[in-house]
Amino acid sequence: MIALLKRRTSSQLMLWITLMALLLLITSPILFAILASFKTNIEIFTSPFSLPKSWSFDNIIKAWNLGNFKTYFLNSAFVTIIGMIIVVLVACPAGYAFAQLTFRGNNILFYLILLGMALPVQAIIIPIFYQLRSMGLVDSLSGVTLVSAGLALPFSIFLMRNTFRDVPKELRESSTIDGASEWRTFLSVMLPLAKPGVVALLIFTFMNIWNDFLLPLVLLKSQENFTISLGLYSFQGEQATNYALIFGGTVISMIPSIIVFLIFQRSFVEGMSEGANK
């Protein structure tokens, strides 16, 4: 018995060590970038794997100033926050209607939304560009925001429909029998019950819009409008051989998503697996 127990704990230890080594290997690019952001170009070249000689934030500060990262940062924040607000305001009622209201055409409309989920952005990016151009919204943050929100809708509606489908119909019925209007029922009875779904939606939308590359690349032209992804891309083009600065810019761009992930880690992973199981 004791021998078996010992074998169990030793195999657990082996497993733990294996996973730790794997984790170190897999996260090594991130560690490498963080270490390199403290080094000089010569140091990166001569001793790529050692710790930096001094922990100076020079590269990060220089990249921040030289690369306009402050502007990119604020632009990304604008696009992401307004985009999230639009998505939540639009997708929650729509998901609710698909899940709880009975009307003819419900299914057909929902299939149309599902079609949008299958449709890749690449297939419609060219018409979107010309449509925005005719609306005078090319190279404007509001243009990117609107399109980002619009493209996020199919999945968001799908997610909210599944969330509201899990709320018992009886709750809605008893509320409407008491004479509450549909909107009132939605806002004061159903929406509070859908809170975990809304949190998942917010996290998904944040990640999608904050990290997006293709839409900003196509729709934004002048540097003062760049988002952080596009800014980093153009920065690495300008500073092609200045590795230390590029790593500085890379680390700046990493930080927000890592912080958001660490704060919301739990709801993140749970929302992800739930969203996929539906």
Partner 1 sequence: MVMDIATSTEDTVSQQAKENMKSKRRKVIKRYVTALSFLAPALILYFIFMLYPMIDAVRYSFFDWNGASTSMNFIGVDNYTALAKDDIFLRSLGHNLLWVVLSLIMMVIPTLILAVLIANVKKGRTFFRAGFYLPSVLSLAVIGVLWAKIYDPIMGPINAFLKSIGLESLAQNWLGEPLFVIPALVLASTWAFYGLYMILYLAGLQNISRELYEAADIDGAGPISKFWNITIPSLRNTMNLVISMVVIHALKGFALIWIMTQGGPFYMSEVVSTFVYKAAFSMNKVSYGTAASVVLGVIIIVFTVGFNIYRDRSEAK
How far is it, in rounded angstroms, from Cα 99 to Cα 101?
Answer: 6
Is 54 a binder of partner 1 (CB under 8 A)?
no
Q: What is d(CA 216, CA 225) in angstroms, rounded to the nearest whole number?
A: 9
Which one of residues 131, 140, 162, 267 is an interface residue with partner 1 (CB under 8 A)? 131
Terminal CA-CA length for the chain: 44
User: In angstroms, what CA-CA distances link 123 with 118, 128, 201, 244?
Assistant: 11, 10, 24, 37
Q: How far is the CB of 66 from partner 1 (least distance, A)?
A: 16
Q: Which stretch binds partner 1 (CB under 8 A): 55-63, 99-107, 165-173, 189-197?
A: 99-107
Q: Applying CB under 8 A, which of residues 97, 144, 190, 220 lies at the interface with partner 1? A: 97
| Interactions with partner 1, residue window 154-213 (CB under 8 A) | 154, 157, 182-183, 186, 207, 210-213
Q: Which of 51, 61, 115, 263 binds partner 1 (CB under 8 A)?
A: 115
Cβ 202 to partner 1 shortest distance, Å: 15
User: Nearest distance from residue 192's CB to partner 1, in Å?
Assistant: 17
Q: Are 95 and 165 in contact (CB under 8 A)?
A: no
Binding letters toward partner 1, positions 224-243, x by CB under 8 A: ----xxx-xx--x------x
Is 142 a binding residue for partner 1 by CB under 8 A? The answer is no
Nearer to partner 1, 93 or 197 (CB): 93
Amino acid at 129: F
Which amino acid is present at 206? F
Neighbours of 18 (CB within 10 A): 10
Q: For residues 153 and 194, which CB has a smaller minimum distance to partner 1 in the complex?
A: 153
- The per-residue DSSP string of 243-277 comes to HHHHHHHHHHHHHHHHHHHHHHHHHHHHHHHHHHH
Member of 77, 81, 125, 137 binding partner 1 (CB under 8 A)? 125
Residue of 77, 128, 138, 189 that binds partner 1 (CB under 8 A): 128
CA-based torsion, 267, 269, 271, 277: positive or negative: negative
Q: State which residue, 38 or 98, has the beta carbon closest to partner 1.
A: 98
Half-sphere exposure of 214 (CA within 13 A, CB side): 13
Q: Which is nearer to partner 1, 24 or 61 (CB)?
A: 24
- Residue for token pair 């090319």: 138
CA neighbor of 212 nearest in space, from 247, 240, 246, 253: 253
Single residue of 126, 169, 173, 195 touching partner 1 by CB under 8 A: 126
Q: How far is the CB of 268 from partner 1 (least distance, A)?
A: 8
d(CA 41, CA 1): 58
Least CB distance to partner 1 at residue 136 (A):
15
- 22 sits near partner 1 (criterion: CB under 8 A): yes
